[in-house]
């Protein structure tokens, strides 16, 4: 594995700041949505779309593209911001989030927006979709990889573990899941709602290779994605330790910001904080 270069890290950090600002602007304009889990996964999604994924924005259905599935579909703002900043559609369209007639639905909808690989939001289904794509790629003798972003609260869903068991059984080495481990879901801390812990041990017991990282550290993330590409004959899981609402002081670690949008005054404060961040 190669050590990520400092210049690349700085570029990704700048892009992550832009995406965080996009998320706040979108949600404030819409007046609804999910900031907490969108902000916690910014670095994960930024690393994927601006370094890891093999894509052609001008040809979104290119057969050999890597696939990304946002299983935690309520975090759609982070996906939309990444897609727009990567060139799949105009950035100014982001402000149509959740508006009547918009292509940017509250949860990703396949066939409406370039770059969206699956309709998600009914939690627990994304890993099954991703596994199907990974196995299809193997049958078609194509070398694309599939990445699925899961929520930690989503790990309470039984279908996640059916897919996990099937992925290991079929030796889906071209499948990588990332767990956004921010510790909070809509009703509170995950271990109090219905604990899925210990997560690393569970995924290993289901036959996956597992690596834990700081989900806000690009060096950790890029090294982990490089590691995942080297895992053969097994699916790989990257457990990314994150902070809900990362980057905005009054949202960080606050479950109240799971699913409500900031008003304009708070949005302005958030944008100022993100702009001043290192």
**Per-residue model confidence as pLDDT tens digits over 16-38:** 999 999 999 999 999 999 999 99
**DSSP state string for 57-92:** TTSTT-TT--EEEESSGGGHHHHHHHHHHHTSS-GG
CB–CB of 83/73 below 8 Å? no
Token pair, residue 256, equals 């109240």
Which residues have C-beta within 8 Å of that of residue 147, sequence separation ≥ 6? 48, 52, 53, 66, 67, 68, 69, 130, 176, 177, 178
Radius of gyration of the chain (CA): 17
Quick one: pLDDT at residue 260? 96
Residue 1 has pLDDT above 60, yes or no: no
Quick one: pLDDT at residue 277? 60
How large is the average pLDDT for residues 99-105?
97
208-228 residue pLDDT tens: 999 999 999 999 999 999 999
Average pLDDT, the chain: 97
b/e per residue 233-249 (b: at least 16 CB within 10 A): eebbbbbbbbbbbbbbe
**Domains of the chain: which residue ranges?**
6-276
How large is the average pLDDT for residues 173-192?
97
Residue 43 has pLDDT above 60, yes or no: yes
Q: What is the CATH number of domain 6-276?
A: 3.40.50.970
């Amino acid at each position: 594995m190669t050590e990520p270069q400092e210049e690349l890290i700085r570029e990704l950090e700048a892009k992550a700041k832009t995406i965080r600002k996009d998320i706040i602007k979108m949600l404030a304009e819409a007046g609804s949505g999910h900031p907490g889990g969108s902000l916690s996964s910014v670095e994960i999604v930024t690393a994927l779309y601006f370094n890891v994924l093999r894509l052609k924005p001008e040809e979104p259905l290119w057969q050999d593209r890597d696939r990304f599935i946002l299983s935690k579909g309520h975090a759609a703002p982070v996906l939309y911001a990444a897609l727009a900043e990567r060139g799949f559609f105009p950035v100014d369209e982001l402000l149509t989030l959740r508006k009547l007639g918009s292509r940017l639905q509250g949860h990703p909808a396949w066939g409406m927006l370039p770059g969206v690989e699956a309709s998600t939001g009914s939690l627990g289904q994304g890993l099954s979709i991703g596994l199907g794509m990974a196995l299809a790629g193997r049958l078609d003798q194509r070398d694309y990889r599939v990445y699925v972003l899961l929520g930690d609260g989503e790990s309470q869903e039984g279908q996640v573990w059916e897919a996990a068991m099937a992925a290991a059984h079929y030796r889906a080495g071209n499948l990588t899941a990332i767990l956004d481990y921010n510790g909070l879901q809509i009703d509170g801390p995950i271990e109090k709602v219905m604990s899925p812990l210990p997560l690393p041990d569970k995924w290993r017991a289901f036959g996956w290779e597992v690596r834990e990282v700081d989900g806000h550290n690009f060096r950790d993330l890029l090294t982990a994605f490089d590691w995942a590409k080297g895992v053969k004959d097994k699916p790989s899981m990257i457990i990314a330790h994150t902070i809900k609402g990362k980057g905005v002081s009054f949202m960080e670690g606050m479950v109240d910001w799971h699913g409500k949008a900031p008003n304009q005054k708070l949005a302005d404060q958030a944008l100022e904080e993100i702009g001043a961040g290192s």
